[in-house]
């Protein structure tokens, strides 16, 4: 599925993926956030969910090297039931 916007110069395209892959610590999916200590008080969240397993594996390996551990791993998330705002 794709859509063009006549006022812009790009095309938005929806493509199917192999699955959803997450970086996990001890088997639990994680989020990564970064903050600068001095000049920028904003918090930024780094991507940890991927539709391509290669990028997920690379990030898990980088985190293992950075933190000198082997506890980070790439894992496949099993597709579940759709949710809505009313499910809370």
Q: Where are the domains of the chain?
A: 17-34+44-77
DSSP label at residue 10: -
pTM of the full structure: 0.74
Alpha carbon distances (Å) from 19 to 5, 15, 50, 78, 83:
28, 12, 8, 8, 18
| pLDDT tens readout for residues 23-49 | 999 999 999 998 877 777 788 889 999
Strands annotated E in 8-71: 11-13, 20-25, 28-29, 32-35, 43-46, 49-50
On whether the CB atoms of residues 34 and 81 are closer than 8 A, the answer is no
**Cross-strand pairs, 21:** 50, 76
Which of the four pLDDT bands, split at 50, 70 and 90, describes residue 12? confident
At residue 63, the 3 state secondary structure works out as: helix
């Amino acid at each position: 599925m794709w859509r063009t916007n006549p006022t812009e110069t790009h095309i938005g395209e929806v493509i199917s993926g192999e699955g959803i892959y997450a970086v996990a610590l001890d088997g639990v999916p994680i989020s990564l956030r970064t903050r600068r200590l001095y000049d920028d008080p904003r918090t930024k969240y780094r991507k940890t969910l991927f539709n391509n397993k290669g990028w997920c594996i690379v990030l898990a390996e980088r985190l293992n090297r950075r933190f000198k551990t082997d506890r980070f791993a790439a894992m496949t998330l099993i597709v579940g039931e759709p949710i809505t705002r009313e499910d809370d």
